A and B are shown apart, each in its own frame.
Chain A
Amino acid sequence: MKKKVVVIGAGVAGIEAAAHLALMGYDVTILEKGERIGGHVLQWDRLFPTQRPASEIQDYLNQQIRNPNIRLIAQTCLIKNERNNEQFNLELSDGNVLTADAILVSTGFDLFDARIKEEYGYGIYDNVITSCDLEALFSSEKPITNAQGEPPSRVGFIHCVGSRDEKVGNTYCSQVCCVTAVKQAIEVREKLPRSEVFCFYMDMRMFGLRFEELYKESQEKWGVNFIRGRLSEASENLDGSILIKVEDTLAGRPLKMRVGLLVLMVGFVPSKGTLTIGKLLGLDFTPDGFLKPADEYIDGNSSNIPGIYLSGTCKAPKTIPDTLTDGRAAALAISEYLASTS
């Protein structure tokens, strides 16, 4: 009889792990609280660093899930877990009960709620949007305009919104926001060649393959301006444009600028699902609220509970390639565990 694995979360990590577990011959059930698979990829238009359409990743995930060993249960949540020796009895929100020999938690992240940074005025000023809103605008293929329906002559990107910010309680780096800002800044310049684009950053963390080249290209080819300084506050002018106050920390001077559109690069926070499932299963959390692996160096997919594994951004911010890799690693760790159990 095939051993059963329940994967919680049908985002990038969950799907990739499920596909590999299915290839290994396990009976895999994926629980997804939403209607569709793919997680945050669904909200993105193009991906850094190559501007690859996010739909291609979505297509890949749709392909991965096509395995008879995989069953997807959408719009369903786990509400109760009871352990019976090595087996888990899982009660679902639709009233059904599943049994599992192992569980993979891949509940992902939420984007930081930019309204918490009250001084930036998101949700109040019409021309303050998030990186996710801008991505939706790119996907819609509508022209980029401000709330007044005009193309903005100057666009500002604010890095590290909700990341590396003790004031909101998030001291970690979200990893992907810097390069996403560079990507989006280039896209704005592509679509609005007459616009000026300014990125306000703390440090440019261009750690990935081709990230640094993209950063260079954004300056040399696209004329994107980078100013090291954190936004102190934004306010709205009479014409709806946004007045921003920043300290240019390289020049050592305060700076005041008017922008037609202000884009907040929102970081990662542990998803509500991660918090709920983590508590329900009795998992350990990091001080930042992500799920804590048993050993961050050599056993990054095991949790503190035997038989329960972790993958993807429920543990920490990650890029898509790293999330896919982590999903595969989790599948391997689970297969090793199942091979060792009766």
Chain B
Amino acid sequence: MKKEGKRMVWPAYQKNIADDHYYYSRSCIRQNFYPGTEHTFLRILGQLNKDICDDPRHTTCTGIGYHTDVVPFETAMTVIARHFALMTGLGYENMITSCITSFGLYSEVLETWKEFPESEEKTREYLRKATGREFNIPKDLSHASDIIYKFRKEISALGTHRLTDIHTGRKLRAVEHIGCHYSKMFPSRGVGGAEFPCVLSGLIEEFGGEVVDYPERRLCCGFGFRQYFIKANRGFSVACSKKKFESMAPYEPELILTNCPGCFYFLDRWQYVISEMEGVLYGMRNQGIPVLTYEELAGLVLGYDPWDMGMQMHQIPVEPLLDKMGISYDPEAKYKGLKGLDLGVPLQPRQLAI
């Protein structure tokens, strides 16, 4: 593989990412599955002295409902218009979404308004009637990973750890998964485009790791909305994730870096499910392949405590990765809450080595 060939693709997809003053739109599911990740993002931006507004008034973007045909597009547009109105009301112009589904849907709404201005007018009317609010279209729409990518060099410079094996100096092998809704619909809205994106691979390389490309890199993580939300289809969801694991396994990745809340969840949880169902384990020494978000990776590089970032919520233990990176942690504190309260130890898996 010619890595320089990939780099030749990237210049065509270097989108504008705002420097500062962001309005943050959180994810619905992320706060439930992995509550520490968004907190970590805010903490990183705080360390970088960036102004970011975490507004409790915003709601779901309706993305999951929209993609499962429960929420009509007109409703989705109006809900998103309300988010823009909240942003406008607080004097912000740069929107960040935490979730890839939201990012895809916000992008779809903005592109729809661009192509069909009458739909924007209609949405303004609906919002006005429902809430009396007006809004400006964001000057800049970024996904949270775009922001981490933008400041990757600053994070690296502030960092205390690298994505290398401290025992050997070897670069750690990482695969990345950007999520279908990041740039597959609108390649120009993703850093590096849709086919060879660099938003995550750029982080891995900047932090000292080695990006591994594998044949099923572009395949869906297994979430795929209808594959999971329709209960009868859940077998497809596991099968899809399994295809990815089987494809990446020969490359012996030591980390899966994800962009999307759904991808993170399914690539993490389905490894455990497959191990319980079939006794098949990926990763070395029956430990699974740790799955991280971009904020968690940046947080580890910056020396944040993994338990403060909520990494004890991962199904696949992250300790093997922490050990390689030379990150110290207190095993006793893993299941302690922020105030030292015992969170309880989860049931032990039958196959996965803890």
Contacts and interface: CB of A to CB of B under 8 A. Distances in A.
A115 B1 contact: no
Contact of B6 (A124, A237, A243): A124
A166 B161 CA distance: 47
A119 B195 CA distance: 6
A125 B251 contact: no
Contact of A235 (B8, B193, B215, B251): B215
Contacts of B193: 118
Contacts of B42: none
A233 B218 contact: yes
B interface secondary structure, majority? loop
Interface residues of A, number: 14
A238 B250 contact: yes
Contacts, number: 40
B340 interface: no
A124 B2 contact: yes
Contacts of A121: 5
B226 interface: no
Contacts of B8: 115, 123
A169 to B, nearest CB: 14
A237 B212 CA distance: 11
Contacts of B216: 235
Nearest to B250: A238
A238 B196 CA distance: 17
Contacts of A91: none
B251 A124 contact: no
Contacts of B218: 119, 233, 235
A284 interface: no
A323 B31 CA distance: 65
B133 interface: no
Given A118-B9, A119-B195, A235 B2 contact: no
Given A118-B196, A238-B251, A124 B215 contact: no
Contacts of A237: 215
A206 to B, nearest CB: 32
Interface in B294-335: none
Nearest to B217: A235
A187 interface: no
A123 B213 CA distance: 15
A142 to B, nearest CB: 21
Nearest to A241: B215
A243 B216 CA distance: 9
Given A118-B196, A124-B196, A236 B213 contact: yes
Contacts of B5: 115, 121, 123-124
A121 B1 CA distance: 9
A243 B2 CA distance: 16
Interface of B: 1-2, 5-6, 8-9, 193-196, 213-218, 250-251
Given A118-B194, A119-B195, 17 more contacts: A115-B8, A118-B9, A118-B193, A118-B196, A121-B5, A123-B5, A123-B8, A124-B2, A124-B5, A124-B9, A125-B2, A235-B216, A235-B217, A236-B213, A237-B215, A238-B250, A238-B251
16 contacts: A115-B5, A118-B9, A119-B218, A123-B2, A123-B5, A124-B1, A124-B6, A126-B1, A126-B2, A233-B195, A233-B218, A235-B214, A235-B215, A235-B216, A238-B214, A243-B215
